[in-house]
């Protein structure tokens, strides 16, 4: 089996590559990644020299490069993680989100049509459903919840999902889509809530909580997401959408306080800053379908996962310090200086 994993130098894609190489050591894995600010080749250093792994630097929007790679490798499956993934960046500059997340998806699927594949899998997000109210805790996103997006990021991801389903209906492309809640774990880029708070706390810098910190996210350990995708691409039904979530809702402020406690840092570092525009209040996934059909359940409890994650950031300072001391400094200054 030959699998092209796009966006594999990013957070979830790299964790997926590690998982799949271990689970299916006879598979050939090709990582296709543009290496944007979010992609990091050093993340893949442990697999780079494996005989059944190949890294190709290319943009998923580059038709010629994608066609060439498909022609050379004739993949059986494509798992598309490549995306612009940060909501705050999409609010500043939506265009690249449309290009990569929508056009890039269509370029990949056109190559799948041309060369023939047994599965194209689109890694999507719970953000396509919009948000839920804090005072309706009995409500959850199911696969039939209407698409109702809030940010340019989520609108671009929803557009891609619609395109994927259209390619299935119109061209019979064998697709699946997964919509997952917030992931956390190793190699998470430090612009996102959990790694940002860990890195800032370790450097005794302010911990910028948007609004009142009451927004709720449903956190899932990244390896559980990878296991779910592995199940879907092998056993999922073509043309179907699967929600993935941990039944682990937490308020942002509680996560930040927990990180302070784990690192023995004072809560006085917490700084309330101007809220995100269009900030979604609550995400919560109902994972009944993937549980009933494919037997998936999250395995890592948040209390254990967050400890493992914090340990990883403590033991891999080089990985994230190189990032925060590079171009990221300008980003941080621009986004947080006058917030
Ligand atoms: P990330 O930002 O950490 O990584 C994205 C990767 O895609 C990077 O390696 C980057 O270089 C690459 N990339 C970006 N544009 C590209 C292009 N035009 N061509 C080729 N490669 C390109 O993102 P992530 O958090 O790992 O998310 C991966 C996927 O999972 C995304 O599709 C995202 O929407 C989805 N998702 C993420 C979460 C989460 O909590 N992080 C939750 C649900 C779904
Ligand atoms: O500095 C911060 N302060 C803060 O309060 C940052 C970066 C975030 N937040 C809040 C905003 C959100 O309510 O924390 C929450 C989580 O924020 P992010 O880490 O930016 O994630 P989110 O916006 O929820 O989106 C994530 O989950 C769904 C991923 O980035 C998406 O790619 C995925 O689709």
Domain residue ranges in the chain: 2-188+220-248+281-301
Q: Which helix (H) or strand (E) holds 121?
A: strand 119-125
What letter does residue 145 receive in the DSSP assignment? S
pLDDT(246) > 90: no
Tell me which residue has its CA closest to atom 34 in ligand 1.
85
Mean pLDDT, residues 19-44: 98
Pick the ligand that lies closest to the CA of residue 41. 1
Tell which phi-psi region holds residue 187, choosing left (phi > 0), alpha (psi between -120 and 50) or beta. Answer: left
d(C-alpha 102, C-alpha 137), whole Å: 32
- Residue 119 phi, psi (nearest 5): -160, 130
- List the catalytic residues: 126-127, 153
Q: How many CA atoms lie within 13 A of 51 on its CB side?
A: 2
pLDDT grade for 339, boundaries at 50, 70 and 90: confident
Smallest CA-to-CA distance from 75 within 178, 174, 166, 179 is with: 174
84-119 pLDDT, tens digit per residue, is 999 999 999 999 999 999 999 999 999 999 999 999
- In this prediction, residue 86 carries a pLDDT of 98
pLDDT band at 192 (very low <50, low <70, confident <90, very high): very high
Give residue 57's Cα distance to chain centre. Answer: 19
Selection from 236, 264, 293, 229 nearest residue 5 by Cα: 229
Distance 192 CA to ligand 2 centre (A): 6
**Ligand 1 atom at minimum distance from 12 CA:** 26
pLDDT band at residue 316 using 50, 70 and 90 as cut-offs:
very high
Decide: residue 120, CB within 10 A, 0-12 exposed, 13-18 middle, 19+ buried: buried
pLDDT at residue 274 tops 90:
yes
Atom of ligand 1 nearest to the CA of 182: 40
Using CA positions, which residue lies closest to atom 3 of ligand 2? 209
Quote the pLDDT of residue 286: 97
Measured CA to CA in angstroms, residue 112 lies from 32, 77, 169, 239, 334 at distances of: 14, 9, 15, 15, 39
Ligand nearest to the CA of residue 250, numbered in listed order: 2
Predicted confidence at residue 327, as pLDDT, reads: 93
Q: Would you state the pLDDT for residue 255? A: 98
CATH of domain 2-188+220-248+281-301: 3.40.50.720
Residue nearest to atom 31 of ligand 2 (CA): 85
**Which of 6, 9, 31, 36 most suits a substitution to test ligand 1, by most atoms within 8 Å of the C-beta?**
36
As a whole-number percent, the residues of the chain with pLDDT over 70 amount to 100
Distance from the CA of 201 to the center of ligand 1, in angstroms?
A: 25
Average pLDDT, the chain: 97
Q: pLDDT-based confidence at 338, cuts 50/70/90?
A: confident
Q: Give the pLDDT band of residue 61 (cuts 50, 70, 90).
A: very high
With contact defined as beta carbons under 8 Å apart, do 116 and 77 qualify? no
Q: Which protein residues are within 6 Å of ligand 2, measured from CB?
A: 85-87, 125, 127, 182, 192-193, 196, 208-210, 215, 217, 252, 276
Q: Which long-range contacts (CB under 8 A, 24 or more apart) does 59-66 make?
A: 59/34, 59/100, 59/104, 60/6, 60/32, 60/34, 60/100, 60/104, 60/105, 60/107, 60/108, 61/99, 61/100, 61/103, 61/104, 61/107, 62/107, 63/107, 63/110, 66/32, 66/107, 66/108, 66/111
Give the number of the ligand closest to the Cα of residue 251. Answer: 2
User: Which ligand 2 atom lies nearest to the CA of residue 191?
Assistant: 7
Q: What is the CA 289 to chain-centroid distance, rounded?
A: 20
Task: Name the 3-class secondary structure at 277.
Answer: coil
Question: Closest-lying ligand to the alpha carbon of 7?
Answer: 1
Among residues 59, 84, 79, the alpha carbon closest in space to that of 69 is found at: 59
Residue 159: is it exposed, middle or buried by C-beta count within 10 angstroms (0-12/13-18/19+)? buried
Q: 223-237, pLDDT tens digit by residue?
A: 999 999 999 999 999
Quick one: which atom of ligand 2 is closest to the CA of 215? 13
Which residues line ligand 1 at a C-beta cut-off of 6 Å? 6-7, 9-13, 33-36, 38-39, 59-61, 81-85, 100, 104, 123, 125, 157, 180, 182-183, 189
Read off the pLDDT of each residue in 251-271 and give the average, rounded to a whole number: 98
């Amino acid at each position: 089996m030959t699998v092209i994993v796009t966006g594999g130098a990013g957070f979830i894609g790299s964790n997926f590559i590690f998982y799949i190489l271990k689970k299916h050591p006879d598979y050939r894995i090709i990582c296709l990644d543009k290496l944007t600010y979010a992609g990091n080749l050093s993340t893949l250093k442990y697999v780079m020299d494996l005989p059944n792994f190949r890294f190709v630097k290319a943009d998923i929007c580059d038709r010629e490069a994608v066609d060439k790679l498909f022609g050379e490798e004739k993949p059986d499956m494509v798992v598309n993680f490549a995306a612009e993934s940060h909501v705050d960046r999409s609010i500043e500059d939506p265009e690249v989100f449309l290009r990569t997340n929508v056009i890039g998806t269509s370029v990949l699927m056109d190559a799948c049509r041309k060369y023939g594949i047994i599965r194209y899998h689109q890694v999507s997000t719970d953000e396509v459903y919009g948000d839920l109210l804090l005072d309706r805790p009995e409500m959850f996103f199911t696969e039939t919840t209407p698409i109702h997006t809030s940010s340019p990021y989520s609108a671009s991801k929803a557009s891609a999902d619609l395109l994927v389903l259209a390619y299935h209906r119109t061209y019979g492309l064998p697709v699946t889509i997964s919509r997952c809640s917030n992931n956390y774990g190793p190699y998470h880029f430090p612009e996102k809530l959990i790694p940002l708070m860990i890195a800032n706390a370790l450097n005794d810098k302010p911990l910028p909580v948007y609004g009142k910190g009451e927004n709720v996210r449903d956190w899932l350990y990244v390896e559980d997401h990878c296991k779910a995708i592995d199940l879907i691409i092998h056993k999922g039904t073509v043309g179907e959408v699967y929600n993935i979530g941990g039944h682990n809702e937490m308020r942002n402020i509680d996560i930040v306080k927990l990180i302070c406690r784990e690192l023995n840092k004072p809560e006085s570092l917490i700084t309330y800053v101007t809220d995100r525009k269009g900030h979604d209040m609550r995400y919560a996934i109902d994972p009944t379908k993937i549980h009933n059909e494919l037997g998936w359940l999250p395995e890592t409890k948040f209390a254990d996962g967050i400890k493992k994650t914090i340990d990883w950031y403590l033991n891999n300072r080089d990985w994230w310090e190189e990032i925060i001391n590079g171009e990221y400094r300008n980003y941080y200054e621009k986004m947080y200086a006058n917030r």
